[in-house]
Structure 1
């Protein structure tokens, strides 16, 4: 803009030197003035063209820089959970799984995004990607490529500097050496992520589909919005059970049970009456019946549902004393496990001075049903007062959730 400023200053000097009010022989004539104006206009057009060209060059440089930066990929693993951005270079296959993706590289390329060329030629049939993903096509471990003709299709190919590069969309693997005869084969993500050290795609079962997969839950469960986790369906609440009248529906993991707790049969030593659907109470004892007073005052029924292989130790059930208002509190309590099936899986311990708890100490594998009988005896100054019994039935699911 320097020459333009000088020309403009010259024009102002000319106009200032020849005001209309005073004419002079030293003033330039109109023809000379028009010549100067045309020269300045030409100079302005030249400056405008130069400025426009600079803007155009700047735009081209920025576009090239943006394209270069977009193609540059870091070697560090990415947290991007989608393959839609096609992060795998040079024909690599993007495999989705959990919150990350992995690139399976074609022969001759390696790196987390297949961005590095190998120094030596890869052995025939070897996929030379991430070491964690290196697989030999002739090996049974390469079963994550299904090769199903129904899901195979032609790859996308481009020509770059007299070389042809072919690639497949996410969920497909380029077969062979990536040449003109290669096809896109479906990747079985379910088998791929079953391999040791890799996260599970689904809480229960994974079903492979062309280019993807979906999760399914067992009967009695529903899939959650994350499309991976399963949640138990409470058939007792949703009225999906078939329990007959007089029985109770107990929800279990993946199903339900119809139960009908029964009180012990009465005899001359004592009898019981049902005071609630889940409790029996002993009738008053005869004055001269010592045996009756040692029978449980109440028998209560409890039901628990556990997953298979629950981590141990874990407290499952608590039992505590609660003396009626005005009655003397017991000075001591004694807790014990009475018979029951597989009671060696459990121990009873004190949670505090007035509470005992049943603790699972040995892993249970389902499906199975166990019963634990817990008794609590009250003593007043070392004299036995009464006893309470809780029958705990445990339904163990065949699943770990």
Structure 2
């Protein structure tokens, strides 16, 4: 038996083909790493891996020789000696291997160099194993575990991985080779996490912002529906990463952002209600003083007409007079002598009666109501002569009752005048005015007067 030897010239063409394959592999992007002959750079692991020449090279071994791939090379061994120790007649010189510290990205220990030429003499009792194997007592060649025997050339930052006939130096997961040293990969820099990322030696951990939880993939985050836990006292609206509380009408959100407190609408304005505003949970209501009721608008006050409703204390002999916020019972008219009653609201003093001289001819009784604090000026009552005499003219004046000078008469024509409120009057108050109309006729040398006794009931409230 003999071993076939490949001389340098024959292997050079094979190596050129191998180099060509290697160059083609390195044309791809990311092949910035340089590997020694017999190795190619793998982008996935970012390491130099062995090239299987037995599979790539056509007719790597000829005849009855079998190709055996080695780290960084291959061997041609007779099939009868495959995996058996061989006994060369003379021990070939010690082969020269690449220096592991000469800048390789992955340090490896290849099999016998392709430049070693085996000899085929007769068998001897001396057995020699190929590089990477050790001779056992039974005469077989067993693989040497360089990682356990610490006979590898991996630097302290690398991991030694034993293989059949050799070993490989690589970096642990989460590390990559930079400048001949295994350095930690900062996964956070490359966006491994969707939100928060914490880099750790050889790894990383993801976490989420408040309002999110980590998905089962431990990288992405999903929104938390906080409203499912009912954090709000009224309504809740879920938002991306948070939530918002809202309150029912009539309530406002407290400073804690979740509790709803009653809104005091009455404190906003003095004009919500005409009289008085009463706050209620979530709303408000208007109330009115006695003798008033709340109008349909739920805010303004309307006078209750006790004379119409019958809710009064007047007798059948009296007349019920309603005014804003109350009523009064008027007795039957009684005229003081020398006046006599001529109607239910008028007294007359006859001209034939000497006692009536220099007295008003008639006294007419009228009643009206007035809201407290009514805006001024305001026309409130009108007088007019009902009988006109040729050559006569009329003078209108306030004869009595205007002590505070709240009123004045404005003559609107030669036969009429208007009572004007010039200053506001605050109630409740009762004002009695004697409004006089003086008739003057110079043709017949006549002068006479008539009185309207006007009683004004000023209410307590301005409505």
| TM bin (shorter chain) | 0.5 to 0.7
- State the Cα deviation string for residues 185-209 of structure 1 (Å, max 9, x = none): 0001111223xxxxx2122211111
Q: Which residue of structure 2 lines up, in the alignment, with residue 245 of structure 1?
A: 316
- State the Cα deviation string for residues 204-223 of structure 1 (Å, max 9, x = none): 21111111112222221222
Tell me if structure 2 keeps the 8 A contact 1:340–1:373. yes
Out of 174, 187, 193, the residue aligned to residue 269 of structure 2 is 193
Task: Say yes or no: does 1:319 pair with 2:386.
Answer: no
Task: Say yes or no: does 1:205 pair with 2:205.
Answer: no
Out of 270, 292, 315, the residue aligned to residue 356 of structure 2 is 292
Tell me if structure 2 keeps the 8 A contact 1:201–1:228. yes
Tell me if structure 2 keeps the 8 A contact 1:293–1:386. no
Task: Say yes or no: does 1:303 pair with 2:367.
Answer: yes
TM-score for both structures, normalised by structure 1: 0.54
Secondary structure in 2 aligned to 1:344?
A: coil
Task: Say yes or no: does 1:234 pair with 2:305.
Answer: yes
- State the Cα deviation string for residues 3-45 of structure 1 (Å, max 9, x = none): xxxxxxxxxxxxxxxxxxxxxxxxxxxxxxxxxxxxxxxxxxx
Q: Which residue of structure 1 lines up, in the alignment, with residue 400 of structure 2?
A: 339
For the aligned residue pairs, the C-alpha RMSD in angstroms reads 2.0
Q: Which residue of structure 2 lines up, in the alignment, with residue 274 of structure 1?
A: 341
Tell me if structure 1 keeps the 8 A contact 2:286–2:298. yes
Structure 1: 4+ residue segments shifted above 4 A: 261-264
Out of 126, 135, 158, the residue aligned to residue 237 of structure 2 is 158
More helix by share: 1
Kindly report which structure 2 residues correspond to 1:2-401, keeping only aligned pairs within 5 A, or say none.
154-178=233-257, 182-194=258-270, 200-260=271-331, 262-266=333-337, 271-286=338-353, 289=354, 292-323=356-387, 328-329=389-390, 331-340=392-401, 342=403, 344-381=405-442, 383-401=445-463
Gaps of 5+ in 2: 1-231
Tell me if structure 1 keeps the 8 A contact 2:400–2:435. no
Tell me if structure 2 keeps the 8 A contact 1:263–1:272. no
How far 1:252 moved relative to its partner? 0.7
Distance 1:205 1:397, change over 3 A: same
Tell me if structure 2 keeps the 8 A contact 1:235–1:251. yes
Secondary structure in 2 aligned to 1:227?
A: coil
Equivalent-residue separation in structure 1 for 2:288 and 2:385 (angstroms): 42
Equivalent-residue separation in structure 2 for 1:243 and 1:322 (angstroms): 33
TM-score for both structures, normalised by structure 2: 0.47
- State the Cα deviation string for residues 241-286 of structure 1 (Å, max 9, x = none): 11123322111101101123654432xxxx1121222111223524
Q: Which residue of structure 2 lines up, in the alignment, with residue 92 of structure 1?
A: none
Structure showing greater relative contact order (alpha-carbon pairs closer than 8 Å, 6 or more residues apart) = 1
Secondary structure in 1 aligned to 2:308?
A: coil
Secondary structure in 2 aligned to 1:392?
A: strand
More strand by share: 2
Equivalent-residue separation in structure 2 for 1:373 and 1:387 (angstroms): 12
Number of residue pairs aligned between Structure 1 and Structure 2:
231
Secondary structure in 1 aligned to 2:410?
A: strand
Equivalent-residue separation in structure 2 for 1:264 and 1:231 (angstroms): 36
